[in-house]
Amino acid sequence: MTTTTPAVSPMDLDEKLALYRTQLALRFFEQRAYDMFLENLVKGTSHLSLGQEAIAAGVAAAMKPTDWTFATYRGHAHTLARGVPMTPVLAELLGRSNGLMAGKGGSMHLTSVEHGVMGSYAIIGAHLPIACGAAWSAQFRGTDQVAVCFFGDGSTNIGAFHEALNFAAIWKLPVVFVCENNLWMEYTRTTEVTAVENPAADRASAYGLESIMVDGNDADAVYEVAAAAIARARAGEGPSMIEAKTYRHGGHSRADPGKYRPDSEVAEWLAKDPIPRYHTRLLELGATEDQLVEIERDVVREVDLATEEAKAGGVPGEDLLMKDVWADGGSSWRN
């Protein structure tokens, strides 16, 4: 594993306060989404990033608006972190017509092309090669765009992961892979079914990618490695792999209480919760408690407003059902 970190200008306090706000927004949004599940307002399934917010927030802070995010079915946080407003995201979870995709995608497929969120993909590993394709397009067209592709530790044992890493390396693509290693695949500990200790980083170095390990519960650390990797990609120096160690506070999905995990392990990671950690750091850096309380209140207001607006959304109409299979807007397969 190597780390050649180009100089990344450190964040000032205002930028760090913004990073704190993003983390809180992701946390409070998903807590609200979970509450709405319990009220049976959110249908289907959902995969929360509670506990992993520092990764989505830290990487997004290092991206330009024109860069691309490729997320997984655990994609609420990544979508919001790119600046997509809460209301359409929550409305999408509720299956309302004011949803991000008018209810046609749902929790696992959040997409907002205008914000550079190029899809949330629910087949493990599939989006790694797709992110390579976007990166290839940027390289071909000579733009300075970078594709950032998030995935979990469980994705590292599927073929598409390996095909994509090799592909990115041989074409020297401007892509940054970010493995959110939360230690548990779905219900099985990743190390129990994986031949190496660091499932993404160890493999990536074998493919010649710049390979970086980072504390995924430290938003500043995540930001710094992401900024460096993105800068390298933008400069034409090729792909990187960031493996960010983290932990999900809840189960794999809505239906999973996560009871397979030892209590002591859960407690250990709850103590490393990225948000209280960042709160403490900001106070040490000179932020005031009042400032932080005001940020918290502001986020609560945003979540409350999004909740009202999402609930007020209409039910998608039949007109949407047969729309947009094809680029002409329709779904006709015959004349």
Strand 175-181 versus strand 117-121 pairing type? unpaired
Among 127, 245, 277, 279, binds another protein (CB under 8 A): 127
Among 10, 13, 15, 123, binds another protein (CB under 8 A): 123
CB of 250 to another protein, least distance (A): 25
* CA-wise closest residue to 60 among 82, 29, 27: 82
Instruction: Quote the CA–CA distance of 219 and 22 in Å, as a whole number.
Output: 10
Residue 213: what residue type?
M
Instruction: Quote the CA–CA distance of 209 and 211 in Å, as a whole number.
Output: 6
CB of 173 to another protein, least distance (A): 9
Q: Closer CB to another protein, residue 37 or residue 121?
A: 121
Instruction: Quote the CA–CA distance of 257 and 263 in Å, as a whole number.
Output: 12
CB of 287 to another protein, least distance (A): 38
Among 170, 285, 305, 312, binds another protein (CB under 8 A): 170
Q: Does 310 bind another protein (CB under 8 A)?
A: no
Any idea of the CA torsion for 149, 71, 276, 295, to the nearest 10 degrees? Answer: 110
Q: Closer CB to another protein, residue 292 or residue 310?
A: 310
Q: Closer CB to another protein, residue 105 or residue 250?
A: 105
For residues 190-249, which are near another protein according to CB under 8 A? Answer: none
CB of 235 to another protein, least distance (A): 19
Tally of CB atoms within 10 A around 5: 14
For residue 49, how far is the Cα from the chain centroid?
Answer: 8
Which DSSP letter does residue 179 get? E
CB of 93 to another protein, least distance (A): 14
CB of 71 to another protein, least distance (A): 13
Instruction: Quote the CA–CA distance of 311 and 16 in Å, as a whole number.
Output: 32
Whether the Cβ atoms of residue 270 and residue 262 lie closer than 8 Å to each other: no
Among 52, 87, 112, 194, binds another protein (CB under 8 A): 112
Among 160, 178, 226, 233, binds another protein (CB under 8 A): 160
* CA-wise closest residue to 219 among 25, 71, 19, 21: 19
Tokens of 136: 């290839």
> For another protein, which stretch binds (CB under 8 A), given 12-20, 167-175, 262-270, 304-312?
167-175
For residues 60-99, which are near another protein according to CB under 8 A? Answer: 68
* CA-wise closest residue to 147 among 223, 259, 238: 238
CB of 31 to another protein, least distance (A): 26
Size of the site for another protein (CB under 8 A): 51
Q: Closer CB to another protein, residue 13 or residue 320?
A: 320
Q: Closer CB to another protein, residue 283 or residue 325?
A: 325
Which DSSP letter does residue 155 get? G
Q: Does 159 bind another protein (CB under 8 A)?
A: yes
Tally of CB atoms within 10 A around 16: 20
CB of 21 to another protein, least distance (A): 27
Q: Does 286 bind another protein (CB under 8 A)?
A: no
**Helix ranges (DSSP H) in 109-262:** 127-141, 159-170, 201-206, 219-234
Whether the Cβ atoms of residue 176 and residue 229 lie closer than 8 Å to each other: yes
For residue 168, how far is the Cα from the chain centroid?
Answer: 20
Q: Does 319 bind another protein (CB under 8 A)?
A: no
Q: Does 329 bind another protein (CB under 8 A)?
A: yes
For binding to another protein (CB under 8 A), which residues are involved?
A: 68, 100-102, 104-105, 109, 111-113, 118-119, 121, 123, 126-138, 140-141, 147, 159-160, 163-164, 166-167, 170-171, 320, 323-329, 331-335
